Structure 1
Amino acid sequence: FSKLQEVFGDIPVYYAHPYTPSERGTNERQNGMVRRFIPKGTDIACLTPDTIQQVEDWMNNLPRKILGYDTPKERFDSYVAQFAAS
């Protein structure tokens, strides 16, 4: 990450301080949603691919306020469509 600013050029890059979850609200929210299905401390190697896919599908199809109540899948699909059209 030390050269991330070089990759993005004029686009501002922000870093959160270590051990400061209050600076990573969206990330911490995502972690909490994953823990609805997969408790903290669970060995992920013991989960089936189907279980992981179910959690992924649920999260990607859940409307988010931060996305104007679009789902992550809808937003991703619209960006892919924009790039495919150009």
Structure 2
Amino acid sequence: MKTYKQLTYEERRQIYALNKSAISQNKIAALLSVSQSTISRELSRNTGSRGHHIK
């Protein structure tokens, strides 16, 4: 059974920086050892009209 692991603040910052550098979601997922769907959800959940919001 797979367990849920929350992204850390640092992982969220890395996702934002890599995404801003035009790195693909698949590549970001591989670099952070997380699912591509995790990256996709993170970017869609925390991107607004003013850009990526890190909480």
Give the TM-score taking structure 1 as reference length.
Answer: 0.22
Pair member with larger Rg:
1
TM-score, normalisation: structure 2:
0.31
Richer in strand (by share):
2
